[in-house]
A and B are shown apart, each in its own frame.
Chain A
Amino acid sequence: MASLGPPFGELATKTLRVMKLTALIVLIGCLQVSARGYGQLVTLRVRHAPLEAVLAEIQKQTGYNFVYAKIELESAHPVDLDVHNADIQQVLVQCFKGQPLAYTIEEQYIVVKKRPVEPSVQKSVSDSSKPRTIDVEGKVSDEKGEALAGASVSVKNGKEGTLTNEKGVFVLKKIPPDAVLEISFTGYKLTEVHVAGAKELLAVKLPLANNQLDQAQVIAYGTTTQRLSTGDVTTINAADIEKQSVNNPLLALEGRVPGLFITQSTGLPGSGITVQIQGQNSIANGNDPFYVIDGVPYTSQLLPGLSNILGTSGATGGYSGNISGSPLSYINPSDILSISVLKDADATAIYGSRAANGAIIITTKKGKAGKTKIDFNLQQGLGQVAHKLALLNTSQYLQMRHEAFSNDGASPSLSNGDYDLLFWDTTRNTDWQKVLIGGIADYTNLSGTVSGGNANTQFLLGGTFHRETTVFPGNFQDQRGSFHFNINNVSDNQKFRVQFSANYMADDNHLPTTDLTSAALLLPPDAPPLYNKDGTLNWAPDSSGATTWPYAPNPVNPISYIYSTYTNKTSNLVSDAVFSYLILPELEIKTNFGYTNLQTNETVVNPQSSTAPQNRSFTPSFGVYGNNNSNSWIIEPQVTFKRMISKGKLEFLLGSTVEQNNSRGEQFTGIGFSSDVLISDPSAAAETVPLITTVSTYKYNALFGRLGYNWEDKYLINFTARKDGSSRFGSQNQFHDFESAGVGWIFSSEDFFRKHFPVLSFGKIRASYGTTGNDQIGDYQFLSSYSTTYAQVAYQGTTGLQPTSLANPYLQWEETKKLEFGLDLGILKDRVLVNATYFQNQSSDELLGYILPITTGFNSITNNFPATVKNFGWELSLHSVNIKGKLFSWTTAINLTIPQNSLIAFPNLTTSSYANSLIIGQPINIIRAFHFLAVNDTTGIYQFADSKGNPTYNPSYQTDLIKVININPKVYGGFQNTFQYKGVILDMLFQFVKQIAPNYTVGAYPGPGIEGENQPVSILNRWQESGDNKPVEKFSQNFSLGSAISYYNNSDASYSDASYIRLKNLSLAWQIPNEWVKKIHVETLRVYAQGQNLITVTHYTGLDPESKSFSSLPPLRVITFGLQIGL
């Protein structure tokens, strides 16, 4: 029963309540209601029921919304109905038979109004007093009857317009009695209401936008829709995030957002993730987007830690040391409502200095008014390495080794360490990939939320437990518990609002210190078993007691890493409070207080048991302990002013940011433990020695503004500006200004297009231009700082100091100029939406570690890069509702990005440090390579072309790097299909990338034949005797051909196609019909199966074309099953 919004007076409320109650009783008494999904058929049997109640029931069954003025319905007669699966049209005719009311169906809503009075009658009643204009008062609410403040109401084809106040009420004066009002509000369907002479009260309920165009998109300091946006924003909603079994929300974006390229470093939980929006602006550091979670800026890089096993999240700006993992893995994906990716100047310039690489805004779930809902989601599954490399088996390996000896004219000898031929059991054949990375990882995700509230206060409480194990042998796992809390309150007068949200996660990641992938690829297949029969580690000692395991650089049984472990315990809090107050209907002030705290405690232990026997007396057991804390607070006061000016809606925002980040990291080592058991406790160490301490503070201050004007939803214009100050710059250059302009023209709203191109339901062209910047450099780079030298024993009892960087007092802001054009088209009532965007980002004065020769004392200086880099390309997307039937629907979404990168200017390039690595007109991350000719058919050694094209064995790195290889993706995108049949939804997302990458065809350095290194089977296609024409050179058992393979790895031959199409995500869910689940007293029940990285089609010769690594675990194939219960 919610067809009417709350009326204005107490009396009216009471009247209505009584009415509703009566209607309800009548309905219960004589209704036979069959519950069913939304359709257009009605089944209803009522006798003498109020029209309002009947309409409400029809609304419930069909999904149509009725729009009417309460007062008008008072004159309605009661209704008798008896229909079964009747068409709505037919039912409505019966309902309105003989009523003083008329209705019109307009898409999803039905407008009910007074039947026009016969002119003759009217004339006789009030001929002289007939008003030429009337004043109309109305109230706008959402489907649940909650007031929508700030909705714009304007007269179609007229000049008058206004906004609703905090109670959703609007007053329009002196408008024609036959006017049609257009009411719009972000995230809701644009709705037209016929005034039809009604003066008093129109209760308009806006239906939520269910089409792509009108769904709310979160942007910087506000919201918009795809329809009205002048910027380039893509939003991914909870529905798409929840379909994916991922431990990092960024992974849920892969393949879904045009212009966004994501690379996962490893398949371990907590992996580093590189994110690039519209290409690589900066040659070195500072390519990360700006992350904002619930209005609070969030770090894009973690502090230096004790291990790099998790892989990097892109180049790490300004900090040295092991920066691995992704800070976003401490944000629980299932708490997220939406992720908006902001790309162009119009969308990002208001973030000023920090959004040169785009911005990613994460909004967490909020409570909704209504009955308290409890929701559980239980998910369980497994992960595994999807693809293994074909490596030599023992007989092939031995053949390779013997051939290598014979090629070198040498013979194996035990005293030279040829254990694999002379000491080990050469009848053994182990698939080390299966043993070391072939395990099954468990995947568990359990979450529960409670949400609810009333019109004034809504809350949401959620908790998630997540656990993943690894594919390595041994007891490694990542366990995380997270908590999400949100509360909103609005005062009775709707003027004062408070919002608070907190996201907390505690993560305990327990991993080996070393990724076993490289050992899995390199261990000879005849290597001894990992364990002795008694269960102890097998060190396979030779006669003198030294281990014969070959694993370089130190001989180690790879499984010993099970004892030498890395533990990372991280807790993360992101919290935000927003207070807002509506001073005037047009003017709101708002202040946002955010606080984040990221605390990491790490331990690396090296017990004696993980050390080879011969090294134990020299290698004491030791532990390394690290604590990192990084916290930040932010205050952002804002004023917004909204007003109709003529027929346009003006929105003005003025705000300010004060922010401070504090980081502190300490590492120390503990040496000498009486027992390996005590090793994770530093206080049990005989000695503890401090390693490094890093402390830094970052302060940031800004003033920003935005001015938007929207003329009749036809002409859109938007200006933003920001003045930024950052402590990362010297006193002369602390402040800088950034600005942008965006314009849009919804040409489909023009009469010309409406008339001549009726098939075109929506058409918009937009353009934006502006500047953004970047201060992703370490703190204090303008200072030349000294830090203490690392020494466990102080020299002469005193601590030393060493300079850590060159000072650059000339540091200044970098600037990226972004230009973008977009075309949006909606065809067939927006069933097909097409978008084409051309972007062009030009970066200059980029901040980066400018490479220097070591004669300056350092390898780089944080500097403004003198060159100009252009990223340009096309983003195309298509969203199509192919079939939308009562039972079956099918939608398709495709996105495609064609990026290009080019160095367009570099003054004095030829004399700079970059003379040999950059070329004007080429991408900034090109690889300059030798040109591979062939294996010399006489000598069996790789030959390359020198600069004159003549064959050579030893090409020069100075003159012969004649090939230019572009490793940037040429095209990437995603292809998604969703099929729904009744309650069953099947969703599949294919991700595709066209690129080239280093391959593994000729094996690992220093080439096939060396002791202790297995190789891929592709090396069997090698040169053996004079006259052979083969792609792989002859085998050798020493380093004599090491330089040849180095040249090969730096040649065009080692780069080959690594394009791939991947079934990134498959999700099959069944919403069990309500009538079934009601029997077990459950509101909703959904069962589902999900798969991640299921199938990859590629020619790439490596473990995975995404991570492209031969030493880290590839992204896993994860398959899960789940159950979602709503109580």
Chain B
Amino acid sequence: MLPSYKIRLTYISLLLFGFATVNCKKWVSISPPETSISNANVYDNDNTAIAVQTGIYSNMMSPNSLTGGGIIDMSFYPALSADELTLWPGNNNQLYSAYYTNLLTNQNTSYADFWNAIYPMIYVTNSAIEGLNASTNLTPAIKQQLLGEAEFMRSFCYFYLVNLYGDVPLVLTSNYLINATVARTPQAQVWQQIINDLKSAQSLLSPQYLDGTLLNSSAGRLRPTKWAAIALLARAYLYTGQWSNAISEADSIINNNSLFSLDTLNGVFLASSTEAIWQLQPVVLGWNTPDAQIFIIPTTGVSTQWPVYLSTNLLNSFEPGDLRRSDWVDSIAIGANTYFYPYKYKINAYNASVTEYEMVLRLGEQYLIRAEAEAEMNDLSDAAIDVNTIRTRAQLPNLLNDIASSQSSLLAAIQHERQVELFTEWGNRWLDLKRTNTINAVMGSPGNAYQNKANGYWNPDWQLYPISLSQLQHDNYLVQNPGY
């Protein structure tokens, strides 16, 4: 080896050695990966801030069936729990079976656990509210709309939580140190938060439907607006017995003729529905709504994959001539049996163009909210008018006078109207039975729907769903609902 080469080699080695021995703090600091954005910068930019909120709506529609686990499952599992759906005896899905027979335990809610599905959404809204409030770089109009959407979504989540579970922990921060040891908050306080959030959202949200940039108006009613906040607020007032407030909120929607009008029965669930207050857009390629996929039974009949159909109890509730019975219900005959299924959403074919959107809030319900509140305030004539508006669309005659003239029979008629109008939509029936205290009578008395479900036994405790065991174990301050 030549001496000069040898020296060079020594230098190179020393250099390499020296280069790498520097313990460099800079070296181990990394920037976030290109595929993700961190809390630090997500609310610094209009697009990413909007994307967080859009992500909530997108995720609500993401599981490609109604039974995939998420808040949208509200149209499925509570309908199984109530008297709307029948489960095929050959069904082998124990989760369906548990909801259907009301034999939920703290173990078997499995992936259809609303508690587990909703709290992560609340985390997003809480961190959005914190991030948006702290942000200084956003376009003011966008910031305002996003704050409104976040508050609306938070109240939307708590609405279902408080209805399904009773007292629930009221989590209003993103700080996990606080949220990990929360106890249940009394229902009244949760309702108050829902109402406060909705009032605030109502003032923040745009009265116009907006597109994905929040800068332009949009034909699709795919983001919550002022009207969505009002509609949910009307519902919240109804559920909490604040009748006059419920009326005034419903009024402002029903009176907004330029935006909202009752659609034809076959038009209600279309993307172009004039009745829609808030809808969600399907996000699975080639498919319309998940409702159509899970409810419409194909020609091969009921099976482990399509194991639910409408209960005879619900079918028998339709008055003769009710157009909803023919437009919103369809059937399939297999051998000697005919199976009836919800047909509000009609397109279950793959690769059909998307013409139906998932309806979350609609005008029809607002009429029924106002009717009920009016009836409760003994304004029977106005109540009857509102009910008859809905009946007329279904080509049913107006309520008989002897029904319309008595508060109790009118209230019963309104509940009946809700049953046939809002079936398999967002758990309305299950929630109505509970809030009107009719659930024990309907589910528990002999000869009723429940008899067809399991062993003919009903425990009033079952009107609240159980909290899963793991949650009780991970938060020692949580207490289970009675009966589980």
Contacts and interface: CB of A to CB of B under 8 A. Distances in A.
B283 A496 contact: no
A857 B117 CA distance: 9
A787 B36 contact: yes
Interface string B19-45: 111011101111011111111101000
B334 interface: yes
A785 B16 contact: no
A786 B171 CA distance: 21
Contacts of B182: 853, 855
Contacts of A415: 89-90, 334-337
Given A734-B29, A795-B54, A799-B51, A1006 B94 contact: yes
Interface in B167-198: 169, 171, 174, 176, 179-182
A836 to B, nearest CB: 40
A958 B19 CA distance: 59
A646 interface: no
Contacts, number: 334
A615 B23 contact: no
Given A552-B92, A695-B35, A802-B52, A700 B28 contact: yes
A618 B28 contact: no
Interface string A909-940: 01111011100000000000000000000000
A701 B169 CA distance: 44
Interface in A158-176: none
Contact of B123 (A726, A856, A911): A856
A899 interface: no
Contacts of A852: 176, 179-180, 474
B50 interface: yes
Given A418-B90, A789-B59, A858-B176, A795 B281 contact: yes
A965 B316 CA distance: 54
Interface stretch (B76-84, B235-243, B298-306): B298-306
A424 to B, nearest CB: 14
Most A-side CB within 10 Å, residue of B62, B89, B176, B218:
B176
A793 B212 CA distance: 13
Contact of B23 (A620, A701, A792, A1046): A701
Interface string B107-121: 110000001100110
B28 A546 contact: no
Given A496-B1, A656-B21, A795-B61, A780 B33 contact: yes
Contacts of B34: 695
Nearest to A800: B55
B123 A858 contact: yes
Interface stretch (A210-218, A457-465, A803-811): A803-811
A674 interface: no
Contacts of A1076: none
Contact of B27 (A658, A796, A857, A1011): A658
A589 interface: yes
A636 interface: yes
A798 B27 contact: no
Interface stretch (B244-252, B267-275, B346-354, B422-430): B346-354
B283 A802 contact: no
A491 B18 CA distance: 24
B9 interface: yes
B105 interface: yes
B62 A790 contact: yes
A790 B283 CA distance: 9
Given A579-B13, A693-B35, A797 B212 contact: yes
A554 B17 contact: no
A787 B48 CA distance: 11
Interface in A719-756: 723, 725-727, 731, 734-735
A543 interface: yes
A555 interface: yes
Interface in B120-136: 120, 122-124, 126-127
B381 to A, nearest CB: 43
B51 A800 contact: yes
Given A618-B298, A701-B27, A796 B222 contact: yes
B16 A856 contact: no
**Size class of the contact patch on chain A:** 35 or more
Of the candidates A780, A787, A957, the one having the most CB atoms from chain B within 10 angstroms of its own CB is: A957
A1043 interface: yes
Nearest to A783: B38
B468 to A, nearest CB: 9
B14 A726 contact: no
B471 A854 contact: yes
A1040 B116 CA distance: 26
Interface string A938-966: 00000000000000000001100000000
Contact of B57 (A553, A635, A795): A795
A417 interface: yes
A417 B298 contact: no
A783 to B, nearest CB: 4
B29 A727 contact: yes
Contacts of B59: 789, 791, 800, 802
Given A786-B52, A807-B39, A1043 B105 contact: yes
Most buried by A among B54, B62, B116, B349: B54
A49 to B, nearest CB: 41
A1005 B182 CA distance: 35
Interface in B1-18: 1, 6, 9-10, 13-14, 16-18
Given A544-B300, A786-B42, A854-B119, A803 B54 contact: no
B50 to A, nearest CB: 7
Given A415-B334, A618-B293, A635-B16, A701 B24 contact: yes
A734 B25 contact: yes
A240 interface: no
A856 B176 contact: yes
Contact of A496 (B9, B25, B116, B220): B9
Contacts of A798: 47, 50-51, 54, 212-213
Most B CB within 10 A of own CB, among A414, A544, A803? A803
B469 interface: yes
Nearest to A799: B51
Interface in A851-875: 851-858, 861
A689 interface: yes
Contact of B284 (A695, A734, A792): A792
A954 B48 CA distance: 50
A807 to B, nearest CB: 6
B119 A855 contact: yes
Nearest to A669: B285
B90 A855 contact: no
Contact of B37 (A550, A689, A735, A801): A801
Contacts of A916: 472-473
B1, B20, B455 interface centre (most CB from chain A within 10 Å): B20
Contact of A727 (B30, B174, B480): B30
Specify which of B28, B212, B213 lies most central, judged by the most chain A CB atoms within 10 Å of its CB.
B28
A734 B474 contact: no
Contacts of A416: 88-90
**Closest A-B pairs by Cβ, 8 of them:** A857-B123, A417-B90, A800-B55, A796-B212, A614-B300, A853-B475, A546-B300, A798-B212
Given A554-B305, A857-B127, A911-B476, 5 more contacts: A618-B293, A701-B28, A723-B23, A780-B32, A861-B176
Interface of B: 1, 6, 9-10, 13-14, 16-21, 23-25, 27-30, 32-40, 42, 47-48, 50-52, 54-59, 61-62, 88-90, 92-94, 97-98, 101, 103, 105-108, 115-116, 119-120, 122-124, 126-127, 169, 171, 174, 176, 179-182, 211-213, 218, 220, 222-223, 281-286, 293, 298-301, 303-305, 334-337, 348-351, 354, 455, 469, 471-476, 478, 480
21 contacts: A546-B301, A615-B305, A635-B20, A637-B19, A693-B35, A701-B28, A735-B28, A786-B48, A789-B58, A791-B284, A794-B58, A795-B57, A796-B211, A854-B120, A854-B471, A857-B126, A858-B123, A911-B476, A913-B180, A1011-B92, A1012-B92
